[in-house]
Amino acid sequence: MKPFSWAIGAALALSLSAGAAQAADTTLRISLQLPLKSHLGQNLELFKEEVEKNSNGEIAVEIYDSAQLYKDKEVPAAVGSGAIEMGVASLTRYVGDIPAVDIFYQPFLFDTEEKVRAAVEPGSPVRGPLDEAIKDTGSTVLWWQAYGGAIMLSNDGPVKTPDDMKGKKVRVFGKTLGDFVTGAGGAPTLISGSEQYLAYQRGTVDIGMTGVSGVKSRKLWDVMDTITVTNHADIEFIVVVNTDFWNGLSDDHKAVIEAAALKAEKDVRDRVSQIEADAYAAAEENGMSVYRPTAEEISAWKAVSQPVYDAYQEKAGDLGAKVLDAANNL
């Protein structure tokens, strides 16, 4: 049961926008946990601009950023139930229903941009079966948003090898990443993206795990001083729409939305490398040290990773075996 104040806040935020949307035939409300200035927020702005322009104002798009309405973990249920039309969630938030989605968190599996691009291509043997499986949750995937590689954050020095993680509390954003931490001797703590700043500030955890673009958009350099560039997982967000709502749209409106989604997906995928480069530069400008592990140190991380693969294959069933085989054949 959510706190009463939360429900009041969500209802108020939605009611305030109702007047502005009345002129449109259709309104798409989108929940986002990140700030609007983040690259995922800017990607939604691109989508909004395209949809409203190409529908001649018949479709209005409203973006509720910074977890105003729902936290990341609440988005799948909110969209699937129809409480909101659309939402952005990290792909791993579907792991409870579809364990196979954590294929992207198998350590060092997607270790080049070429492999990532091949895996996330619409209809690819890795992504295609996952998009289909998500339909069973009441949501339809419109597009994927690239977030980049997973990195580690710390204070007073980098996290070079598993030895530096032993006995430490580590912020993670998925069960599989937690398995990785456990294998390295750390203690995983699941903390949502919107809450990690406070977790670092209060010392709730010793080490952070996130994407470097999040360091910039959330100004995490205020509370952590070192980035270790492990790139041990590929972080993907997905933009989903309630399936019943989607099926009720006219073909013309669907076509406008699909075209905008395709443009938004290509734009963010093509820019993610530069986005990451800019974020690393901003982190250093704000006093952070950036450490890139040696090949020998990466090998030490890989050496503790096998239990993660074993656990994945046990939980993810036939679908997991199918997408893992496809990923290995990229």
Q: Give per-residue pLDDT as tens, 288-318.
A: 999 999 999 999 999 999 999 999 999 999 9
Residue 216 lies in a domain: yes
Residue 277 lies in a domain: yes
If one compares 151 and 194, the residue with the highest pLDDT of the two is 151
Residue 16 lies in a domain: no
Q: Evaluate if residue 5 carries a pLDDT over 50.
A: no
Asked whether 65 and 218 are in contact (CB, 8 A), the reply is no
Q: For residue 188, give the nearest of 199, 197, 299 by alpha carbon.
A: 199
Residue 79 lies in a domain: yes
Q: For residue 171, give the nearest of 158, 186, 185, 156 by alpha carbon.
A: 186
Residue 124 lies in a domain: yes
- The one-character DSSP state at 95 is T
Q: Evaluate if residue 205 carries a pLDDT over 90.
A: yes
Residue 21 lies in a domain: no
Distance CA 40, CA 265 (A): 10
Distance CA 8, CA 94 (A): 27
Q: Evaluate if residue 57 carries a pLDDT over 90.
A: yes
Three-state secondary structure call for residue 305: coil
Give pLDDT, residue 84: 98
Residue 18 lies in a domain: no
Q: Evaluate if residue 92 carries a pLDDT over 90.
A: yes
Containing domain of residue 162, as a range?
Answer: 4-11+26-328
Q: Write out the H or E segment, with its range, that includes residue 31.
A: strand 26-31
pTM here? 0.88
Q: Evaluate if residue 240 carries a pLDDT over 80.
A: yes
Alpha-helical runs (H) found in the chain: 4-21, 39-54, 75-81, 113-120, 127-134, 175-183, 196-202, 212-217, 243-247, 251-285, 295-303, 306-328
Number of domains in the chain: 1
pLDDT in tens, 108-120: 999 899 999 999 9
Residue 19 lies in a domain: no
Q: What percent of the chain has pLDDT over 90?
A: 90
Give pLDDT, residue 168: 98
For residue 101, the domain's CATH number is: 3.40.190.170
Q: Evaluate if residue 2 carries a pLDDT over 50.
A: no
Give pLDDT, residue 10: 52
Give pLDDT, residue 23: 67
